[in-house]
Amino acid sequence: MPSCGQGCGGRLRLMYDGKGQAGLKAGAGTTVLSLKNPEYFLLSENSKDTVCGCDQEWFGSCWQRRAGCGPSVATNVVLYLHGAGSIRLEEKVESKTDCIGLMETLWRYVTPSEKGVNTLDRFCGGVKKYAQSRGTSLECRTLDIPMKRMSRPALSSVVDFIEKGLDSDCPVAFLNLSNGKVSNLDSWHWVTIVGLETDKVHDRVSAQILDGGKAFGIDLKLWYETTTLGGGFVFFEKP
């Protein structure tokens, strides 16, 4: 597994110019977007290693480890928004141990049902209630991807939505109910989108995500074209 400095902070930082702009050309006709400060996700795991964001496997109970992807992604979002100054946390979160405490807190707000956190509204409502508990108001932006292909928004609309979230410097929470033909993405699962790469005509659309304390890329266009259950996307803005 690559170190977090390579897979999270190092790799994402290459997507920016020296002025911290959110978009730059990565090649002929290719645009790359990413969050401005991916180092906000860095957590020390022990004296030598770091990880990229939280991991649902850190939860204490078996049920939490099985159903905890939604609260884990909510924790990543809150962790980043804290770094960006949008949410004030009670205590610093710099290590795995610190993050577990925040994960347990978010679990109380983004609480899975027997089907997990399987709707965008359930995720949004929980994060907004947590923000309110910290004296902050957040507005939730959502894009639903229906199960029926003919009912889905155009791929260009999906790209535009994710770009808007990243450009506002907020991680984009991604609910994937079916991974389709994307082999490195789990079904019925939330992950955190932290970067996007696409060409002008969207022949290629890839996203960089955080999952399980690692950063890696997925073929988002392939997911859009082959998912059988759909899913959706969420980001937050200050009013």
In three state form, how does the secondary structure of 19-61 look? Answer: CCCCEEEEECCEEEEECCCHHHHEEECCCCCEEECCCHHHCCC
Is 112 within 8 Å of 71 (Cβ atoms)?
Answer: yes
- Residue 146: count other Cβ atoms within 10 Å of its Cβ: 13
Q: Which two tokens stand for residue 24?
A: 């730059």
Please list the ranges in the chain whose pLDDT falls under 70: 1-29, 47
CA angle 50, 88, 84 (to 5 degrees): 60
What are the residue ranges of helices labelled H in the chain? 4, 11-13, 62-67, 69-83, 96-109, 120-133, 155-167, 220-226
Joined tokens for residue 114? 């027997």
Measure the CA–CA gap between 72 and 110, rounded to whole angstroms.
Answer: 9
Give the SS3 label for residue 9.
Answer: helix
Query: What distance in Å separates the CA atoms of residue 85 and residue 108, rounded to the nearest whole number?
Result: 23
The structure tokens 């992807």 sit at 69
Q: Does domain 4-237 have CATH number 3.90.70.10?
A: yes
Domain ranges for the chain: 4-237
DSSP assignment string, 91-110: S---BHHHHHHHHHHHHHHS
Residue 109, CA distances (Å) to 13, 103, 124, 129, 215 in order: 32, 10, 10, 7, 25
- Amino acid at position 203, single letter: D
pLDDT tens string 153-210: 999 999 999 999 999 999 999 999 999 999 999 999 999 999 999 988 888 999 999 9
pTM over 0.85: yes
Q: What confidence score (pLDDT) does residue 47 get? A: 65
